Amino acid sequence: MKKRSLEERLQDGPVICGEGYLFELERRGYLQAGTFVPEVALDNPQALKQTYRDYMLAGSDVVLAFTYNAHREKMRIIGKEELLEPLNRQAIRLAKEVAKEHPEEEALVAGNISNTNLFNPDDPSSKEEVRSMFAEMISWCKEEGVDFVNGETFYYYEEAKIALEEIKKQGLPAVITFGLMGENVLRDGYSVEEGCRLLKEHGALVVGMNCFRGPATMQPHIEKIRKNVDGYVGALPIPYRTTEEHPTFFNLPDGGCACSIPTETTFPTSLDPLYCNRYELASWAKEAHETGVNYFGLCCGASPSMLREVAETVGREAVNSTYSPNMEKHFLFGSDENLQSHITSYKNKA
């Protein structure tokens, strides 16, 4: 089958983009929480390839190169600036290798740039430094042959706009998504729907939101974006039970924790009891699909099985849908006629 572009796939129906590598690779033991730098591309390439593969087979149309936080400023902070270009190129090359493995249609490969944590709206020199950082990363994306660039987790509109401008200079399609913090407005005063509308007008193919917020506190903003944007909208929440009182996972409390944790809040290493289950995520995906979202995914904390649930909910069948839950033959909760009734009748006492 001929490999369709991102725009062609969007025209044909919902597109799924697997994210969440940051927490998943930390959980698998290949990434340090706190610094959150994707050195795994160089240190453990097979682990990264398997993660890419797991999300792709769970329904992702896109293998997103894991270069989140792999920008010059972050690499400088950890004292490994010399690894910047090798890491970026390796992450893309590994993604391309995995994308070719898709048994039905070669997956898309996306380059990845993100919030720099350097941008300062009051400091013109910071803006030029950010632009330079984006420009070099996107040039490597172009040289390595990505299909589009995903610019994500921006909490300043102007930083997102710089990212879009640099992507467009390289002639690549752009997906740009905001990370909205707890004050419900971007840090430079724009509403998220206004930021998305402007980015669409400036040429982004997909605009929307990712990370920071779970389905409950992202969806109301997605609905506003959908009403204000004439084009493709993306939504990639985190799979945690955020609330109106605590709209992001940065300050999400866990009243059931019986120990003292070493971090100021449950973020990032004590969030486990606060997960949405896969059916909550499916419920959100149905609502988002009905809202008119075109580009679906999950962000930090997501597992492949969660992504598969989202994909199936919006009408997609994943390669690994063959392993989707089926309780028919379970020894306690099954209904198969070959099961023993003296066991199945005991289920409510088990």
Residues in the annotated binding site for Zn(2+): 211, 299-300
β-bridge partners, 16: 296
Compute the distance between CA of residue 33 and CA of residue 96 in angstroms, rounded to an integer: 26
CB-CB neighbours of 9 under 10 Å = 19
Compute the distance between CA of residue 7 and CA of residue 125 in angstroms, rounded to an integer: 35
Compute the distance between CA of residue 231 and CA of residue 304 in angstroms, rounded to an integer: 28
Compute the distance between CA of residue 298 and CA of residue 150 in angstroms, rounded to an integer: 14
Residues ≥6 apart with Cβ < 8 Å to 145: 96, 109
Compute the distance between CA of residue 90 and CA of residue 96 in angstroms, rounded to an integer: 10
Q: What is the DSSP letter of 4?
A: P
CB 194 within 8 A of CB 228: yes
Residues in the annotated binding site: 211, 299-300
Residues ≥6 apart with Cβ < 8 Å to 293: 14, 208, 222, 226, 233, 234, 235
CB 152 within 8 A of CB 114: yes
Compute the distance between CA of residue 148 and CA of residue 121 in angstroms, rounded to an integer: 27
Question: Helices then strands (H, E): number in the chain?
Answer: 13, 8
